[in-house]
Amino acid sequence: MAQCVLRRFDTPDETRSFERGHLDLIRIAGTTLGRARYEPGWKWSEHVAPVVGTRSCQVAHLGLVLEGRAMVRMDDGEEIELKPGDIFQIAPGHDSWVLGDRPYVSIHLMGAEQYAT
């Protein structure tokens, strides 16, 4: 086993692409990490739901917002805005979309392996 492993999202193990966005995946130390990038106008219910076949996202997320802003709406109607520097935990049963005219970029520490499959 290597004592030190260095990886970069510039060379991911896998990229899952969908309209107006993509998720880069890195598998390291038994964990899958993700970097999501969504362009302005991206909305989960419009651009990812057709791929997975559910009404709302059923993946639990733990992550960190790097750039841009997004809104999350839980199935019960609760809404929260995500902005750079926010560390988020989001339960299954939600929609989300990019706010404004800048791309939204986040790192996913949990949930990346199950996302958009």
Q: Domain-by-domain residue ranges, the chain?
A: 14-69+83-110
pTM: 0.94
What phi-psi label fits residue 101: left (phi over 0), alpha (psi between -120 and 50 degrees) or beta?
alpha
Provide the CATH topology of domain 14-69+83-110.
Jelly Rolls (2.60.120)
Given a cut of 80, is residue 26 above it in pLDDT?
yes
- Burial track 37-56 (b if 16+ CB lie within 10 A, e otherwise): bbbeebbbbebbbeebeeeb
**Res. 2 pLDDT band, cuts 50 70 90:** confident
Mean of pLDDT over the chain? 97
Predicted confidence band of residue 1 (pLDDT cuts 50, 70, 90): low
Taking residues 17-24, what's their average pLDDT? 96
